[in-house]
Structure formats: structure tokens, C-alpha cells
Amino acid sequence: MSIVKNHVVLKLGGSLMENAPQLLIYLKDNLNLISYTAPAVLIVPGGGVFADSIREVHRKEGIGDYAAHWMAILGMEQYAYYLADKSGIRTTDDLDKIVPGITILMPYRLLYSMDPLPHSWDVTSDCIAAWVASMLSARLVKATDVDGVLVYGKTVATIDAVKLNEMGESCVDRMLPELLMKDGRDCMIVNGNYPERVLAALEEKAVIGTLIKGNI
């Protein structure tokens, strides 16, 4: 793997598509890359409207889970091309070629070569981001369009993955809590419509959001 000492995987939700390019440009301009421990931020794109179209085809045309899985990952790759085009940030499909700064992952080749996850709509881009974070021994941050996990209508600052798993529906993929528990990895959820919150999360500063605790 890469020799970079401080990896962070940032899952960038498709729900942020309108504001995501500005978010990435803000991060590129403000992330501290001077210190020896400067982070290498790997963006794992969501599926957004691209994956939603596959869900619709899956529902209407009855294609199998195998085809839908790989078509949805190609949808993530389409979002990656969009983000790269709008932000000017480099891309990679190789985890061994990550350098300090911000890089956008083109996930299809990597996922297809290893096929590490079940083929199900319970396993989408959040789970892929968690798997990538595990591969890199990286911190995991998810930027989405909500402030964090809601419990009884209120955003909580922390929640154990086991409790989130029991809740079922939330702002993360259904299988993500299971993967976090298995790997003992935390995941910070922040609202990507506030770029300063995402930056704070990447730099491990106090921030509004929810820390999902995988290691209990």
C-alpha cells in the first residue's frame, strides 16, 4: 500500500451532487498539506442519480443482483468523473498510488478485481468506503446532506454501531454498522453542505455531526 502515514477516506454522498464540486475545491484550498503528517484524502463517490437509475432498472426490468451491483458501481464511477471534471482533482483506481492531498477513487476496477462485498442494495457506496478505509487502515468520514444520525428526532453526537444496526433505517447503508463492528472502525457523519464541518472532520477537530463507534 501507499507509504502515506495519514489516510482519510471521505465518502462523498450523491445527495451532495449540486454542492460537491465547491466542497472539494474548498477542501483542496484549505486542507493543511504542509506538515509531515499531512493527510491523503481519498474521495469515495456515492452513486447518486446514477445509481438511482440502476435501482429503477432493477425494479422495472428484473435484472439480477449481480448485474445491478456492478452497474451501480459503474454509477459511482460516473459520479467520480463528474467530481473530477468540476473540481480539477486527480483520480486513481489504484490504492498503491495515493499521495498527500485529495484524490478521487475510480472504484470499478478495484472492486471488480477483488469482489469483496455481497451483491445487494444493503451494500452500496457507504460499505465500499468502509472497505476501502479498512484496506488503507484509514479514518472514515461520510459527508451527506443531513447533520448526522437521528434518534427520536434529534441528531446524536455519538452512537454505537451495534445500536445503529438495531435501528435499521438511518442515513447510512444498512450493512455499514456490521462492517464497522467487524473492523472495529469508527465513522464520522457530517453535513457536506457546510464545507468547514467536513474540513474539521478530516483534521480531527470538534465538529457538529455523529460519530458512529465501531469499536466498543
| Per-position pLDDT tens, the chain of length 216 | 444 457 999 999 999 999 999 999 999 999 876 555 667 999 999 988 998 888 888 788 889 989 999 999 999 999 999 999 999 999 999 999 888 889 999 999 999 999 999 998 888 899 999 999 999 999 999 999 999 999 988 999 999 999 998 887 778 888 999 999 999 999 999 999 999 999 999 999 999 999 999 976
50 neighbors 109 (Cβ within 8 angstroms): no
189 neighbors 149 (Cβ within 8 angstroms): yes
Residue 11: predicted pLDDT: 97
C-alpha separations of 183 from 2, 10, 25, 83, 180 in Å: 20, 17, 31, 29, 5
In a domain, 2, yes or no: no
In a domain, 110, yes or no: yes
In a domain, 1, yes or no: no
209 neighbors 189 (Cβ within 8 angstroms): yes
In this prediction the pTM is 0.92
Q: 111: domain range?
A: 7-213
Structural domain total, the chain: 1
Residue 62: predicted pLDDT: 83
SS (H, E, C) 42-76: EEEECCHHHHHHHHHHHHHHCCCHHHHHHHHHHHH
Residue 2: predicted pLDDT: 46
In a domain, 132, yes or no: yes
CA atoms of 196 and 199, how far apart (whole Å): 5
Residue 76: give its domain's CATH number. 3.40.1160.10
